């Protein structure tokens, strides 16, 4: 009994903080999602409207489009980051001249605030003054204008995200790779396994938990990205980069439609949980013919 | 030091494990009750949203509530 009390006592601060800053706001957003609430409108009070906000969002073209583009963005960004991050992590396990300098420079984007990343990329991609459109025109004759070319704007937001967050993936995968035991690799080499076989049958299964944790973190981040994209493209042109976070921001702040914005937030949370759960089930959860309890 | 292996006991243990593997549950993954509750809630929300999008014009949402709750209960108890 005594050890239980000490355990609960030690957990109390964490549970209090989680409750205050996680569960209470979530319940409040859920409560608001079932109301019509425009605090700056003619009728500033909350009016209960049942599931009308959810009815509205399942036929809202803008919202459904933003889900589509967000899913595309998250897919391209996370997959590219994992592949690039793994390759860089493997590179950092080898010795080469200037490794320490390169590793430091490579990690620098991580310490830059997203809003700054967005503004720097905006400066670099603005036609007529940006370095990227200048060199694309000079070398390839390509006119880059993210204000009018939707595909280019989308691609640039993905590239910006990759540039910003690949170092995080590299660091987590590097930590996983250097902590692997040497024996299985030596045994595989003695048995005549080639590089691909060693990667596929030994390295990948052993670092799978680290990959999965990284994918979860990056996926959740990608699904709620706002500030970088807001600075770079403002959600345009059209709806090409109007990702879910930006869409919620536009509904809640300029339109002050708090009830509808809360309903969208709940659905975004739901989609994030479903995606992470499906990933977990697909990659980690044992296939079985049995169940616990 | 050699410890003789009790083959009878090993067989009994194997039978117990085998029996536990064949416990009922139609889901293709290992789950505990909380996982199944979670799945039930996922499906409840998904069904409600899809119903509102495609069927509510012709069939009232109450029907969806009943189906979704029944499905959730089935997953929690038999999944």
Q: What is the ipTM of this complex?
A: 0.75
Q: Tell me, what's the pLDDT at A96?
A: 87
Q: Tell me, what's the pLDDT at A5?
A: 86
Residue A26's pLDDT band, with cuts at 50, 70 and 90, is very high
Lookup: tokens for A134: 């200048």
Q: Going residue by residue through chain B, which has 79 residues, state the pLDDT in tens, using 9 for 90 and above.
A: 456 667 777 677 666 655 554 445 777 777 788 888 888 999 999 999 999 999 888 899 899 999 999 999 998 888 7
Q: Name which of A10-24, A98-112, B10-24 the model is least confident about.
A: B10-24
What are the b/e assignments for A167-182, b being 16+ CB within 10 Å?
A: bbbbbbbbebbeeeee
Higher pLDDT, residue A151 or A238: A151
Residue A287's pLDDT band, with cuts at 50, 70 and 90, is low
Q: Tell me, what's the pLDDT at A147?
A: 86
**Residue among B25, B42, B49 minimizing CB distance to A291:** B25
> Between the CA of residue B14 and those of A44, A287, B7, B24, what are the distances in Å?
67, 19, 10, 18
pLDDT > 90: what percent of chain A?
Answer: 59
Q: Tell me, what's the pLDDT at B1?
A: 47
DSSP code at position B5 = P
Whether A109 is covered by a domain: the verdict is yes
Q: Tell me, what's the pLDDT at B26?
A: 79
Q: What is the pLDDT of residues A244-259, one digit of tens each?
A: 999 999 888 888 889 9
CB contact under 8 Å between A291 and B49, yes or no, is no
Taking CB atoms and an 8 Å cutoff, what residues of chain B touch A287?
A: 28-30
Q: Which of A55, A60, A263, A290 should we substitute to test contact with B (largest number of B Cβ atoms within 10 Å)?
A: A290
Q: Residue A141 pLDDT > 80, yes or no?
A: yes
Taking CB atoms and an 8 Å cutoff, what residues of chain B touch A274?
A: 42, 46
Q: How many residues does chain B have?
A: 79
Lookup: tokens for A69: 């583009």
Q: Residue A23 pLDDT > 90, yes or no?
A: yes
Whether A1 is covered by a domain: the verdict is no
Mean of all residue pLDDT scores within chain A: 89
Residue A291's pLDDT band, with cuts at 50, 70 and 90, is very low
Number of domains in chain A: 1
Q: Residue A39 pLDDT > 70, yes or no?
A: yes
Higher pLDDT, residue A283 or A91: A91
Q: Tell me, what's the pLDDT at A243?
A: 92
Q: Tell me, what's the pLDDT at B27?
A: 78
Whether A26 is covered by a domain: the verdict is no
Q: What is the pLDDT of residues A209-264, one digit of tens each?
A: 899 889 989 999 999 889 999 999 988 788 889 999 999 998 888 888 899 999 99
Whether A9 is covered by a domain: the verdict is no
Q: Which of B16, B37, B49, B77 should we substitute to test contact with A (largest number of A Cβ atoms within 10 Å)?
A: B49
Whether A15 is covered by a domain: the verdict is no
Residue A45's pLDDT band, with cuts at 50, 70 and 90, is confident
Q: Domain range for residue A56?
A: 34-292
A51 CB burial (10 A radius; 0-12, 13-18, 19+)? middle
Lookup: tokens for B40: 């039930």
Q: Tell me, what's the pLDDT at B66?
A: 94
Taking CB atoms and an 8 Å cutoff, what residues of chain A touch B22?
A: 289-290
Q: What CATH number is associated with residue A88?
A: 1.10.3720.10
> Given CB atoms, is A61 within the 8 Å cutoff of chain B?
no
> Given CB atoms, is B31 within the 8 Å cutoff of chain A?
yes
> Given CB atoms, is B57 within the 8 Å cutoff of chain A?
no
CB contact under 8 Å between A285 and B29, yes or no, is yes
Q: Tell me, what's the pLDDT at A262?
A: 93
Please report where in the chains the tokens 């993954």 appear, as a residue. B29
Whether A25 is covered by a domain: the verdict is no
Q: Transcribe A92-125 into DSSP letters.
A: HTS--TTHHHHHHHHHGGGGS-HHHHHHHHHHHH
Q: Tell me, what's the pLDDT at A122?
A: 93
Q: Which of B40, B45, B64, B75 should we substitute to test contact with A (largest number of A Cβ atoms within 10 Å)?
A: B45
CB contact under 8 Å between B29 and A58, yes or no, is no
Q: Tell me, what's the pLDDT at B31?
A: 78
How many A×B Cβ pairs under 8 Å? Answer: 52
Whether A97 is covered by a domain: the verdict is yes
Q: Tell me, what's the pLDDT at A160?
A: 95
CB contact under 8 Å between A55 and B38, yes or no, is no
In angstroms, the CA A81 to CA A85 distance is 6
pTM: 0.82
Q: Tell me, what's the pLDDT at B21?
A: 46
Whether A213 is covered by a domain: the verdict is yes
């Amino acid at each position: 009994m005594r050890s239980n009390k000490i355990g609960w006592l030690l957990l109390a601060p964490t549970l209090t903080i989680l409750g205050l800053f996680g569960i209470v706001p979530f319940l409040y957003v859920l409560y608001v999602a079932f109301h019509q609430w425009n605090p700056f409108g003619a009728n500033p009070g909350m009016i209960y409207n049942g599931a009308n906000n959810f009815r509205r969002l399942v036929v809202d073209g803008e919202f459904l489009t933003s889900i589509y583009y967000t899913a595309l963005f998250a897919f391209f960004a996370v997959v590219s980051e994992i592949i690039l991050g793994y390759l860089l992590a493997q590179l950092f396990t080898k010795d080469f001249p200037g490794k320490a300098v390169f590793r430091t420079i490579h990690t620098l984007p991580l310490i830059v605030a997203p809003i700054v990343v967005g503004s720097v990329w905006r400066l670099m991609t603005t036609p007529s003054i940006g370095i990227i459109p200048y060199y694309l025109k000079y070398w390839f004759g390509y006119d880059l204008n993210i204000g009018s070319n939707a595909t280019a704007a989308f691609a640039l937001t993905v590239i910006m995200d990759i540039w910003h967050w690949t170092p995080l993936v590299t660091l987590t995968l590097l930590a996983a790779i250097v902590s692997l035991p040497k024996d299985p690799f030596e045994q595989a080499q003695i048995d005549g396994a080639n590089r691909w076989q060693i990667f596929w049958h030994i390295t990948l299964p052993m670092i799978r938990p680290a990959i999965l944790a990284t994918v979860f973190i990056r996926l959740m981040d990608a699904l709620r990205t706002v500030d970088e994209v807001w600075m770079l493209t403002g959600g345009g042109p059209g709806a090409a980069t109007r990702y879910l976070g930006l869409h919620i921001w536009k509904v809640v702040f300029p339109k002050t439609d708090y009830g509808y914005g809360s309903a969208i937030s709940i659905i975004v949370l739901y989609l994030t949980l479903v995606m992470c759960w499906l990933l977990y089930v697909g990659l980690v959860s044992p296939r079985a013919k049995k169940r616990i309890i | 030091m050699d410890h003789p292996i009790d083959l009878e006991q090993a067989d009994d243990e194997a039978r117990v494990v085998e029996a536990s593997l064949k416990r009922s549950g139609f889901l293709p993954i290992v789950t505990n009750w909380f996982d199944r509750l979670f799945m039930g809630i996922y499906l409840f929300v998904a069904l409600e949203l899809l119903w509102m999008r495609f069927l509510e014009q012709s069939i009232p949402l109450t029907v969806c509530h009943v189906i979704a709750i029944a499905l959730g209960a089935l997953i929690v108890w038999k999944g």
